[in-house]
Copies of this chain bind each other. A is one copy, B any other.
Amino acid sequence: MTTSDKRKLILDGAEKIFAAKGFAGSKVEEIAEQAGVAKGTIYLYFPSKEEVFISLIEERVNELISLVQERIKGLDCAIKSLRLQVKTQIEFYTEHAGLLDVAFQYAPRLSYKLQQRLNKSRLKLVQISIDSIKELVSNPKSISVNTMAAMLDGAVNNLLINYFLNDYPIEAEEIADQIVTIFLPGLLQQQG
């Protein structure tokens, strides 16, 4: 097993625990157990519990971005592209349930330097939606693309939380359709 295999093992274990219990509620020992390594091993790969946390978020955000970019590459229909972006995001959030919420929730308690790193990741995430909306609404009339992207992201997120809370099965296709159905008319009316 290579060094980066073990790093991945730890991050995967950390994700399960952090997503379930939040940052403060997750014990390093639990993470180690979940990852199948010893407590001390975690400190060979990361200098602190906080650094495990930040690294995990950065990793996942980058994965999501790569995934979206790869999938919508070459699509020529802006509506299809938006829908696919939303769907990919839903699938990813579902697979990493709760993690990203936990992530940004804890930001204010981290050191300034770590907050900066987290915020960079957060901005990368919103950028995905910004790109998709830009493609769709080239000259928005009255609302900025950023604002529209923020609404879209929030709607996606909260709809998922709602599904989780009610224990509905998450069907990415269906949810993506619902989102697009509600948003598309409003977005299109923004076309200048």
A128–chain B nearest beta-carbon distance, Å: 14
Q: 6 A-B residue contacts at CB 8 Å? A: A22-B24, A150-B155, A154-B159, A154-B161, A181-B189, A183-B186
- Chain A interfacial positions (CB closer than 8 Å to B): 20-25, 98, 101-102, 105-106, 108-109, 119, 122, 126, 142-143, 146-148, 150-159, 161-162, 165-166, 178-179, 181-190
| CB <8 Å contact, A105 and B109 | no
Partner of A182, one of B25, B109, B148, B161: B148
Chain B residues within 8 Å of A178, by CB: 143, 147, 151
Query: Complex formed: what's the CA distance from A85 to B167 in Å?
Result: 27
| CB <8 Å contact, B165 and A158 | no
A102–chain B nearest beta-carbon distance, Å: 7
Partner of A158, one of B150, B183, B185, B190: B150
Residue of B nearest to A122 (CB): B165
Known contacts A150-B159, A154-B156, A182-B190; can you find 12 more A-B pairs with CB under 8 A?
A105-B105, A142-B181, A143-B178, A147-B162, A150-B158, A151-B158, A151-B179, A151-B182, A154-B159, A157-B158, A184-B186, A185-B185
A154–chain B nearest beta-carbon distance, Å: 2
With A142-B181, A187-B182 in contact, is A21–B109 under 8 Å at CB?
Answer: yes
